[in-house]
């Protein structure tokens, strides 16, 4: 599996439950957590997802069935 990293502009675009202070899981950990951010990639805004276990998270977008991880 080849991991691809991208540099992308992001914007704050919360969903309704983000504005209510709710989280997707009780623990805050998960494999595919929906974030309140969107990333611009190839002229289109994509929802940013996070995979979080322990104290660190990896943020990524999905396009055409492929995960692209955001740098830094």
pLDDT of residue 54: 87
Using CA atoms, how far apart are residues 23 and 61, in angstroms rounded to an integer? 19
Domain ranges, ordered by start, for the chain:
4-70
pTM for this predicted structure: 0.90
Task: Identify whether the C-beta of residue 41 lies closer than 8 Å to the C-beta of residue 61.
Answer: yes
Q: What is the DSSP string of the chain?
A: ---EEE--EEEE---HHHHTT--SSSSS-EEEEEEEEEEEETTEEEEEEEEEETTEEEEEEEETTEEEEEP-
**Which segments in the chain show pLDDT lower than 50?**
none
Q: Are 39 and 48 in contact (CB under 8 A)?
A: yes
> What is the structure's pLDDT at 1?
64
């Amino acid at each position: 599996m080849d991991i691809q990293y991208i540099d992308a502009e992001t914007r704050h675009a919360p969903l309704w439950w983000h504005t209510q202070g709710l989280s997707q899981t009780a623990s805050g950990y998960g494999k595919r957590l929906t974030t309140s951010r969107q990333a611009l990639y190839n002229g289109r805004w994509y929802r940013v997802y996070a995979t979080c276990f322990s104290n660190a998270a990896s943020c990524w977008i999905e396009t055409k069935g492929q995960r692209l991880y955001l740098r830094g």
